[in-house]
Amino acid sequence: MSDDLKVYNPNPAAAAAAHINGMAAYEALCKEAETDYEGFWGRLAKELITWKKPFTKVLNESEAPFFKWFEDGTLNASYNCLDRNIERGLGDKTAIIFEADGGEVTKVTYKELLAKTCQIANGLKAQGVKKGDRVVIYIAMSIDGVAAMQACARIGATHSVVFGGFSAQSLRDRIEDTGAKAIITADCQVRGGKQLPLKAIVDEALTLGGCDSIQKVLVVKRGDVAVTMKDGRDVWMADVVSGQSTECEPEWVEAEHPLFLLYTSGSTGKPKGVQHSTGGYLLHAALTTKWTFDLKQDDVFWCTADIGWVTGHTYITYGPLALGGTEIVFEGVPTYPDAGRFWKMIQDNKVSIFYTAPTAIRSLIKAAEANDAVHPKSFNLSSLRILGSVGEPINPAAWEWYHQHVGGGRCPIVDTFWQTETGGHMITPLPGATPLIPGSCTLPFPGIQAAIVDETGKDVPWGQGGILVVKRPWPSMIRTIWGDPERFKKSYYPEDFKGKYYLAGDGAIRDEKTGYFTITGRIDDVLNVSGHRMGTMEIESALVSCTELVAEAAVVGRPDDTTGEAICAFVVLKRSRPTGDEAKQIAKILRDHVGKEIGPIAKPKDIRFGDNLPKTRSGKIMRRLLRSIAKGEAITQDTSTLENPAILDQLSENN
Ligand code: PRX
């Protein structure tokens, strides 16, 4: 290891008990994959998944980049996550410990979760949903949410979960794109003591046009928010499942059958419907939960993500359940009733594996430093043995704090790099093997051929930054963009690399001595705000859709201490440039407008007004210049082509 780097080696006693013990074991797995790629994945697919009809073929590359894995095998994801555990004697084991926003705890065993899933599955069938149909799920964190996803999987319907923070417009866009037959929602979601309507947003989305495919809206009762139920379309979930059998024969689907669609931002305006398979996805969900988190039968696993994001899919709904684990699901926010909630929940539930996002850690550091009562030291966190981080780079200072104050200096931190499109971890430490260096996601998961190349696809030497690619297909990779195979090819297998390498969209660099990977950030027009992916064009489109006010808008990111990146918008209005209080008022109107178009997570932190935007002679917006202005940096770029250099001063003024 490099002399100047702080290295944390695995504790030998803990490593000895780990699924992957020591670097030699890690290297042996990488070697196995290198020597016989299909043999490696085929072996694991047989070990971790129960197949109804075993596959005979591991990988079909004949229609690359539309790869097929285990294509002649059949299985059911919900059978693998539920029935199989009961068959191996785990029926009375707790599957989910749910803690509501107000602190009430509900537990379900594997048997109970299966019964609930089957009742919803039978109910969905009774409502006319069948294999191949899409179901949109717009619901808060709950056992019902997980069971609804499992129920879709059980009957071969493809779920598409939409995060509860998205607006009616965003929900509408996703409903239209999926062509879903049904929506599963709730009257409300509860966050920080407040009941926020969900069904009313569904109602609004369905009036915006383009949602004719929707035949049924199933409504879970979570709180006591009044809802309007449309005759013939809207039904209470309680009525849907009432009288339904607690048994439901799984629909055995082909390995490539789409398990789910999940929308994510790209560099153009329209979110992409990332399509995942059943077999390959489930394999990687189970395998990474086993190796990266070292999950064992007596662990209590807690991934704090929302099921509206891919992390919640892989490390709540599928991975831990596929291994028969016990997991926590929580409703609400980390700062309610106070910023000690995470630490108290770890203490009360004896959580042993904890997986969260750097943004959450950074905001809890601030709170803990201001108030001992919410500092991790005020709680007994001795049950913890492994910590994880996901969604954005974790800065070394936050890493050290997490390690020392949450992990008591003894828990390895797995900094997991991956994406909605990759289905599961791609570059990550393995806790019993990999020496850790704060700020680095370390080395590729066994079997993942991650590399860093230049614009022509040539490998760059260690120590030199470049473009992160994956050279070989892997089981849980995105299969296509729903309804847009051309966009899939263009986005992920571009001609720059002769269509051969998967393009992650991130820049990366390998340490000169260790070869460890550090992600340097997106190389496209995608921002990462609090671990949420936001396309700059999506936000620009939302701003210019405020047609009575906005003539033109450009959005860039700038570093932010808490949220990683913050959204900064430069706006030219149709009227004269506002200043002072008026500028503040208009900025508020625009923020609210973006909140309504996309959702509160997309509201720009800074909005600045100019008479124009800085452009090149050919009319292209000089985004690099805008990024410097957003950061408050001195302008070093050539500005001689600007028609009106005075606009730089205007755009530097904050509102
Ligand atoms: O830029 C990378 C960043 O998040 C992007 C993927 O976002 P999304 O599809 O929403 O999935 C988030 C949860 C997997 C990546 O392209 N990212 C994710 N994890 C890390 C990361 N950046 C640095 N380090 C990570 N561990």
pLDDT tens-digit profile of 292-349? 999 999 999 999 999 999 999 999 999 999 999 999 999 999 999 999 999 999 999 9
Nearest to 362 by CA among 338, 396, 333, 331: 396
Q: What is the pLDDT of residue 4?
A: 64
Q: Quote the ligand 1 centre to 471 CA distance (angstroms).
A: 19
- Nearest-CA residue for atom 26 of ligand 1: 417
In whole numbers, what is the pLDDT of the chain averaged over residues?
96
Judged against a pLDDT cut of 70, whether residue 29 lies above it is answered with: yes
Q: In this structure, are residues 50 and 31 in contact, taking their beta carbons and an 8 Å threshold?
A: no
Q: At what angle do helices 199-207 and 168-178 cross, to 10 degrees?
A: 60
Q: What is the pLDDT of residue 653?
A: 80
Q: Which of 426, 506, 601 to mutate to test the pocket of ligand 1 (most atoms within 8 A of CB)?
A: 506
Judged against a pLDDT cut of 80, whether residue 644 lies above it is answered with: no
* Residue 575 labelled as part of a binding site: no
Rounded Cα distance, 226 and 613, in Å? 46
Q: Quote the ligand 1 centre to 314 CA distance (angstroms).
A: 14
Query: Where are the strands (E) in 176-259, listed by range?
Result: 182-186, 188-191, 194-197, 216-220, 234-236, 253-254
* Residue 293 labelled as part of a binding site: no
Rounded Cα distance, 563 and 494, in Å? 31
Judged against a pLDDT cut of 50, whether residue 613 lies above it is answered with: yes
Q: What is the pLDDT of residue 105?
A: 98
* Residue 89 labelled as part of a binding site: no
Rounded Cα distance, 217 and 108, in Å? 25
Query: Closest ligand 1 atom, CA of 421?
Result: 9
pLDDT, mean of residues 197-218: 98
Q: Quote the ligand 1 centre to 618 CA distance (angstroms).
A: 34
- Nearest-CA residue for atom 6 of ligand 1: 419
Q: Quote the ligand 1 centre to 310 CA distance (angstroms).
A: 10
The structure tokens listed for 10 are: 């695995």
Q: Quote the ligand 1 centre to 440 CA distance (angstroms).
A: 13
Per the listing, tokens 């082909």 go with 254
Q: Helix (H, G, I), strand (E, B), or coil: what is residue 291?
A: helix
Dihedral sign, Cα of residue 122, residue 127, residue 128, residue 132: negative
Query: Closest ligand 1 atom, CA of 526?
Result: 1
DSSP assignments along 564-585, one per residue: EEEEEEEEEESSPPP-HHHHHH
Rounded Cα distance, 161 and 294, in Å? 27
Confidence band of 622 (pLDDT split at 50, 70, 90): confident
Confidence band of 269 (pLDDT split at 50, 70, 90): confident
Q: Quote the ligand 1 centre to 390 CA distance (angstroms).
A: 7
Please report which residue ranges of 402-505 form alpha helices under DSSP H: 485-492
Nearest to 501 by CA among 468, 471, 524, 546: 471
Q: What is the pLDDT of residue 616?
A: 78
* Nearby residues of 283 by Cβ (< 8 Å), 6 or more positions away: 41, 44, 45, 48, 49, 70, 475, 476
In angstroms, the first-to-last Cα distance of the chain is: 47
Q: What is the pLDDT of residue 617?
A: 75
> How big is the chain, counted in residues?
655
pLDDT, mean of residues 590-599: 96
Half-sphere exposure of 577 (CA within 13 A, CB side): 19
Q: Which of 166, 359, 390, 392 to mutate to test the pocket of ligand 1 (most atoms within 8 A of CB)?
A: 392
Rounded Cα distance, 108 and 197, in Å? 26
Digit-coded pLDDT (tens) for 552-571? 999 999 999 999 999 999 99
Digit-coded pLDDT (tens) for 346-402? 999 999 999 999 999 999 999 999 999 999 999 999 999 999 999 999 999 999 999
The structure tokens listed for 609 are: 């007004």
Half-sphere exposure of 133 (CA within 13 A, CB side): 24
pLDDT, mean of residues 486-494: 96
Percentage of residues in the chain having pLDDT higher than 90? 92
Q: What is the pLDDT of residue 1?
A: 45
Per the listing, tokens 């200096």 go with 409
Q: Quote the ligand 1 centre to 531 CA distance (angstroms).
A: 7
Judged against a pLDDT cut of 70, whether residue 446 lies above it is answered with: yes
The structure tokens listed for 133 are: 């149909």
Q: What is the pLDDT of residue 171?
A: 97
Tell me the whole-structure pTM to 2 decimals. 0.95
Q: Which residues pair with 158 in a beta bridge?
A: 134
Q: What is the pLDDT of residue 73?
A: 98
Burial 307-328 (b: 16+ CB within 10 A, else e): bbbbbbbbbbbbbbbbbbbbbb
* Residue 419 labelled as part of a binding site: yes
Q: Which of 523, 528, 563 to mutate to test the pocket of ligand 1 (most atoms within 8 A of CB)?
A: 528
* Residue 117 labelled as part of a binding site: no
* Residue 301 labelled as part of a binding site: no
Q: Quote the ligand 1 centre to 223 CA distance (angstroms).
A: 33
Q: Is 102 left (phi over 0), alpha (psi -120 to 50) or beta?
A: alpha
Residues with CB under 6 A from ligand 1: 264, 310-311, 390-393, 415-420, 441, 504-506, 519, 522, 528, 533
The structure tokens listed for 567 are: 């959204």
Residue type present at position 277: S
- Nearest-CA residue for atom 10 of ligand 1: 533
Q: Quote the ligand 1 centre to 338 CA distance (angstroms).
A: 27
Query: Closest ligand 1 atom, CA of 533?
Result: 10
Digit-coded pLDDT (tens) for 50-107? 999 999 999 999 999 999 999 999 999 999 999 999 999 999 999 999 999 999 999 9
Q: In this structure, are residues 510 and 498 in contact, taking their beta carbons and an 8 Å threshold?
A: no
Rounded Cα distance, 166 and 288, in Å? 29
Nearest to 353 by CA among 322, 386, 383: 386
Confidence band of 3 (pLDDT split at 50, 70, 90): low
pLDDT, mean of residues 32-52: 98
